[in-house]
A and B are shown apart, each in its own frame.
Chain A
Amino acid sequence: MAKTKKKAGDINSSSMADIAFLLLIFFLVTTTMDVDTGMKRTLPPWIDPTEQQNDVDVNERNVLKVNVSRSGAIMVGTDEYRPNDLRRSGEHSRLSREVYYFLVDPNRSDKEAKTIDGGTYNISKGLVSLKADDETEYKVYLKVQDELTHAFNLYRDDIAREVYGMAYDELSELEAQNIRKAVRMQISEAEPNDQTKK
């Protein structure tokens, strides 16, 4: 009683694990896990230095000057800050607190009425003018930028609470966009040509 059909033997699957391991190790080596994170900025459009420049008229009063020297010393207006003032104690650093007060205090920067989502709110016209020496270390420069951003974010948070009764990062994308549009992150950097002229 010979069978006409032979039953196919089982494929040995013990090497399956080896193959999978090989693939796994390949992917571990060739890929990276890190997510790109960074601080977003928009540069001003290029102005030809030979052309006549009409500077935007900004009231001196609404400008907070932040100067960073090559050694990392910081001048905010006429006050001197040490590198240590960039470090946060608790939530804020001395620099971010100072910039935040500058934005909030109506005696220090003018307010202008802006329409956000139907309502009218007084928003500071405050602008931070950042000037860093060419020899300043990038690490220090970015930390200053970080603290300035923090100050503006705090201010945005205030406005968001006023308008929507919620913190800025709890808003929907559209609402956050409204806030972003009204409360501009006004950090302007001096034209490098100006520095060489000096």
Chain B
Amino acid sequence: MAVMAKKGKREVPAMSTSSLPDIVFMLLFFFMAATTMREVDPLVSVQMPEANEITELDKKNLVNIWMGKPLGAAKGEDALKIQLNDQTREVEDIRDFISATTVTKGVGPNDIVVNLRVDEGATVGKLTAVKQELRKAEALNISYAARAMENK
């Protein structure tokens, strides 16, 4: 008792930070494993619709086609644009895009799945035009990109 009273306040030893790098590295590896690189920057805004009956898509051989309003478009403007890779293109360019993609991937048009990322405000007519082009390009496997439905 007498000893403690002499010192009055005891200093708290500094917290050891030697395990901090380990923790951060662990987080780093988690993120490296759980995420994928963002391949392209979006040029059109796509708000994906919600659906229940959706399946996970295999990233391999997945080809994305975006369709939506261009980013930064004026409010009244509702011209839908199609984005292939990192350029906005026209519907007619889809066929060339598919054939170019199959060449670089080294697979046939039947082996790829075209993921249609269409804005929920788009019209069916535009989508049909895209699908017709895909049929001409013989890329018949498609998927309608959708989000899982919240509160069913």
Shortest A20–chain B CB gap in Å is: 4
Q: How many residues of B contact A (CB 8 A)?
A: 54
* Residue interface bits B52-74, CB-to-A below 8 A is 1, else 0: 11111101001000000000000
If A33-B35, A40-B142, A44-B140 are given as contacts, then 4 extra A-B residue pairs at C-beta distance below 8 Å, sorted by A number, are: A30-B38, A41-B143, A138-B127, A150-B53
Shortest B31–chain A CB gap in Å is: 5
Q: Contacts A32-B35, A39-B146 hold; do A133 and B124 have CB atoms under 8 A apart?
A: yes
Instruction: Decide if B24 touches A134 in the complex (CB within 8 Å).
Output: no
Instruction: Decide if B121 touches A137 in the complex (CB within 8 Å).
Output: yes
CB-defined contacts of B49 to chain A, threshold 8 Å: 138-139, 142-143
Which of A32, A142, A153 has the most C-beta atoms of chain B within 10 angstroms of its own C-beta?
A: A142
Question: Does B87 make an interface contact (CB < 8 A)?
Answer: no
CB-defined contacts of B121 to chain A, threshold 8 Å: 137-139
Q: Contacts A88-B152, A135-B123, A150-B52 hold; do A36 and B18 have CB atoms under 8 A apart?
A: no
Instruction: Decide if A143 touches B51 in the complex (CB within 8 Å).
Output: yes
CB-defined contacts of A21 to chain B, threshold 8 Å: 24
Smallest Cβ-Cβ distance to A195: which chain B residue: B128
Determine chain B's interface SS by DSSP, over half rule.
mixed
Bound: A141/B62 CA distance, A: 23
- Selected from B28, B62, B123, the residue in CB contact (under 8 A) with A20 is B28
Q: Which of A10-18, A104-112, A114-122 lies at the interface with chain B?
A: A10-18
* Residue interface bits A23-45, CB-to-B below 8 A is 1, else 0: 11001101111011111111111
What are 30 pairs between A and B in contact, CB < 8 Å?
A: A17-B24, A21-B24, A27-B35, A30-B38, A31-B38, A36-B56, A36-B62, A37-B56, A38-B55, A38-B146, A39-B143, A39-B144, A39-B146, A40-B141, A41-B141, A41-B144, A42-B140, A42-B141, A42-B142, A43-B135, A43-B140, A134-B123, A137-B122, A137-B124, A138-B121, A138-B127, A141-B127, A142-B49, A149-B53, A150-B53
Instruction: Decide if A20 touches B51 in the complex (CB within 8 Å).
Output: no
Q: Which of B4-12, B100-108, B111-119 lies at the interface with chain A?
A: B111-119
Smallest Cβ-Cβ distance to B38: which chain A residue: A32
Instruction: Decide if A41 touches B142 in the complex (CB within 8 Å).
Output: yes
List the interface of chain A (C-beta within 8 A of B).
13-14, 16-17, 19-21, 23-24, 27-28, 30-33, 35-46, 68, 88, 132-139, 141-143, 145-146, 149-150, 153, 192
Instruction: Decide if B31 touches A24 in the complex (CB within 8 Å).
Output: yes
CB-defined contacts of A132 to chain B, threshold 8 Å: 124
Question: Does B147 make an interface contact (CB < 8 A)?
Answer: yes
Instruction: Decide if B54 touches A38 in the complex (CB within 8 Å).
Output: yes
CB-defined contacts of A135 to chain B, threshold 8 Å: 123-125
Bound: A23/B25 CA distance, A: 9
Smallest Cβ-Cβ distance to A14: which chain B residue: B17
Instruction: Decide if B27 touches A138 in the complex (CB within 8 Å).
Output: no
Bound: A38/B134 CA distance, A: 17
Shortest A42–chain B CB gap in Å is: 5
Smallest Cβ-Cβ distance to A153: which chain B residue: B53
Smallest Cβ-Cβ distance to B145: which chain A residue: A38
Smallest Cβ-Cβ distance to A16: which chain B residue: B21
